[in-house]
Each structure stands twice: as structure tokens, then as C-alpha cells.
Amino acid sequence: MTPTFMKVLAFLPPYEGKVVLELGAGTGHFTGELARKAGKVIALDSIESVVEKNQSINGNHQNVEFICGDVTSADLNLAAESVDLIISNWMFMHHSNKEVEEIAKSLLNLLKVGGYIFFREMCSSESEDHKQENNTFREPKFYTKICKECHISDTSGKSYELSLVRSKSLGTYILDKESHNKICWIWQKVNSEDDRGFQHFLDNVQYKSSGILRYERIFGHGFVSTGGIDTTKEFVAMLDLKPGQKVLDVGCGIGGGDFYMAENFGVDVAGIDLSVNMISIAIERSAGLKCSVEFEVADCTKKTYPDNSFDVIYSRDTILHIQDKPALFQTFYKWLKPGGKVLISDYCRKAGTSSEDFAEYIKQRGYDLHDVETYGQMLKDAGFEEVTAEDRTEQFIEVLQRELERVEKEKEEFIRDFTEGDYNDIVGGWKAKLVRTGSGEQRWGLFIGKKEVMA
């Protein structure tokens, strides 16, 4: 089995004992391997000779059903809600936009509620689709949009949709002198009426897609946090990253920091963020880059990883959203390998009682803020050693002023790309931040800690 196949298999959700539908199964690169763990594999391909070849290689597995057929055809005879996992490998690129849309709907129908669809496609970073023979290399955005807009209802009127789980860029592939990205996605079938609480708040209030792009304009390409690439370069330099190390970015946003670390230090980065909008943009941005970065829609307070998984846990201006910081820091400690480091930048507040205005601002945003010293102590209490807790408010103010000046200088361009209302919101927001920091109420902290080597 080639390293790429291993990577794909490792990326799949668990399928032990499950019903797996393999689309475009070909001569069965995955079929046999899937059959070893799955309850049942339905291996589908539209070319008769290919199906026969797969059967001759993998026919010894009793739990594989070989079908010659076309996913777009109505007479496939697979029952609604009968499949746990659908795997589609380089398939959508052979179909037209309209067909992809229809296939997505019929696949959603085949899935059990809670089931997953995995697909891998060759993508282009150009906004023009790039066609070669019968293949279309599309922007990743196309697939995100198709999946997000794919809705169906069952006979009882219940509606279902796809929710993004994770996405990974498996690096580039050079074809015809053009560089394409191999990108895979996993989406889950969910009930549209499910309550997705805080995630909905993030996606529909604080981080709407348009709002994210507006923020990005002021923070800089790829970033939704203080100082954009400049503070990223400064802080990442403190980590002494080595090629092959594993980095977890908690609240990765649209991935600017992850691409920077992966491209410049050869580390493997996993970015998690609870916002579907953030992760969707992050994966769009990975097209055209040579590094391999993985993004997952996940709540860092619920996500699990095996102990000792990462060399570095990195988190920029995110943990302000987390109420139970001590519990989160304890899990960070467990997820880190012995000798591993944590680096956090975060909004803080002054020690003592906050002003009424500031308390109101925190409440309205739903933030949980602490003073810099208390924050550092929480890391120590979680077990971290060599903890540094630096008040970086002065740097924060300089950054805010620079960002504000730049936006004001590029006012016309900003209004052309967004609206005058957006411009006023951003400028007003930044001025308010300057007032809050100027009065000493709002602070900004940088925190570093280490897990002991003999832990």
C-alpha cells in the first residue's frame, strides 16, 4: 500500500463493522483494505472490465458486493439511509457542475443520519476551472458550496444536510506544467433542525463569512488575530520548530499561521476550529500551497486526542471564547509530548474589578477574560513548567494603530470590496479597542509553557 493510500485510510472516520459504499472503486486499490474492517463494502464502478478485475482481485472477501453502474443513474437500487460511509475518489472531476450537485443529493439520501461522505478531488487554485480532457479541476470553493447547499427532506418532512467535519490538502500534483492540489473532505449527514448552539453563534453572528473577510482585510491575509503575519513570525520563532514535528493550532481560523508554519518549518499542522465558515475558507486557501495541512471543525473543549500527540500546541486569540480554561489547559498538557511546548496569545483584562463598560463588553461578546498573572498561574496549575506570562498590551496598541492607519489609508478600496457600513464598523471597532486598551481595562498576553521532559 502506497503512503498516499495509507494517508487516505488514516483520514477516514471509523468504519469497523459499517456499511461502506466505494464509488469509482476502479480495480480496487481500497476495496480489499476496506473489506478487512468494514461490515460490508459495496464497490461500484461504471466500467464492466474494471469491475471484473476488482472482483478477480478482491472476490475472496465475502463481504464485498461488486456493482457495475453509474452513480448518476436512477436504477442503482441502493436503499435510502442504508450506508454509513461513502468514499468517492477522483470522481466528481469527471462530472459536470450540474451532475455533481445531483450526485451530492442522491448520496445524501443514501447515507444514514450521522453517516459520512469522504471525497478526494484534484483542485485548482485558479478561479477559472481548469479542464483537461474529461476532467475538471475546480476551486475547492465549488465543492464547499455544493455540500453546504445540499439539502433533502424525507417522506416525513424531516430535512437533512451536510456538515463539514474535516478537510486536508495532500499536497500538489503537477500535471501539464500546472500545479494542482489533492484535497479531501469529510462531511457528515445531520438533521437540519439539530441544535448546534455555540457553533451557530460563531458562524452566524461573530464570524459570518463576510465578517471574516472583513476582519481579514484589517488583520492581513490569512489572519483573524492581532498582528497577522508579523506577530506570527515573532512568536513562531520562539518555538524552535523542527521538520516533521506535529503542531496543533487551537482555533486556527482561516489558517494563515498554519500555512506559515508548515511551509517554512516543514512541520505537520492540524488546525481545529469550531466555525464551519473559518474551516471552509482555510481549506480554500490551501489550494496552490505545497504544504500538507489538515483542518477540522471541532470544539476544542470536546475534541479528544491520544496523550503525547503533539510537539507544540499553538493558539492565537481564541481561548477568550473558552469558559473553563483550567480544564482545557489540563487536556493540552496531556496532548503534548514530554518536552512539548504550548504558546498562547490571548485577550486579557486588568487585575481587580473591571469598569462597567468593559464588563458589559465582555458579557455581550461572551468572553471569559483574566489578568495576565492569573492566566499564567492557570498554566502552572495545569502542570506546565518554565511558564512565561508576558503583558504585551503595548505591542497590541501599536498593532491596532498600524492596522487602523492602513485601513483608513485604503478606505476607498475597502468600501469598493465591502460597504461603507463595513468600513465604519471596522474603524469604529478598532477605535473602541484603542479606548479599552488605552484606559488599561483590556490587556493582551503572551503565554508559553513546557511539559516536563520526564513527564
What do you get for the CA distance between the two ends of the chain, in Å? 36
Mask of contacts with ligand SAH, 190-209, x by CB under 6 A? ------------x----x--
Residue 33 CA to residue 40 CA, distance in Å, equals: 12
Count of C-beta atoms within a 10 Å radius of residue 133: 6
Instruction: Assess 181 for contact with ligand SAH (CB under 6 A).
Output: no
- Indicate which single residue of 22, 273, 296, 311 sits in contact with ligand SAH (rule: CB under 6 A): 273
Smaller CB separation from ligand SAH, 205 or 453 = 205
Contact set for ligand SAH, span 219-248 (CB under 6 A): 223-225
Instruction: Assess 343 for contact with ligand SAH (CB under 6 A).
Output: no
Alpha helix segments (H runs only) across 193-238: 197-201, 209-219, 228-236
Instruction: Assess 251 for contact with ligand SAH (CB under 6 A).
Output: yes
Segment lying near ligand SAH (by CB under 6 A), choices 88-96, 253-261, 360-368, 431-439: 253-261
Smaller CB separation from ligand SAH, 26 or 256 = 256
Closest approach of Cβ 199 to ligand SAH, in Å?
8
Which residues are CB-contacts of 93 (< 8 A; sequence separation ≥ 6)?
121, 122, 135, 136, 137, 138
Instruction: Assess 115 for contact with ligand SAH (CB under 6 A).
Output: no
Residue 402 CA to residue 229 CA, distance in Å, equals: 13
Instruction: Assess 275 for contact with ligand SAH (CB under 6 A).
Output: yes
137 three-state secondary structure: strand
Instruction: Assess 269 for contact with ligand SAH (CB under 6 A).
Output: no
Smaller CB separation from ligand SAH, 32 or 253 = 253
- Indicate which single residue of 299, 390, 410, 425 sits in contact with ligand SAH (rule: CB under 6 A): 299
223 three-state secondary structure: coil
Give one word for 424, left, alpha or beta, with left for phi > 0 and alpha for psi -120 to 50: alpha
Element (H, E) at 142: helix 140-149
- Indicate which single residue of 278, 293, 342, 404 sits in contact with ligand SAH (rule: CB under 6 A): 278
- Indicate which single residue of 24, 26, 227, 253 sits in contact with ligand SAH (rule: CB under 6 A): 253
Residue of 46, 18, 189 lying closest to 106 (CA atoms)? 189
Residue 120 CA to residue 108 CA, distance in Å, equals: 17
122 three-state secondary structure: strand
Smaller CB separation from ligand SAH, 3 or 197 = 197
- Indicate which single residue of 19, 44, 281, 300 sits in contact with ligand SAH (rule: CB under 6 A): 300
Element (H, E) at 171: strand 159-175
- Indicate which single residue of 40, 168, 217, 316 sits in contact with ligand SAH (rule: CB under 6 A): 316
Instruction: Assess 276 for contact with ligand SAH (CB under 6 A).
Output: no
Binding stretches for ligand SAH (CB under 6 A): 202, 207, 223-225, 251-253, 256-257, 272-275, 278, 299-301, 316-318, 321-322
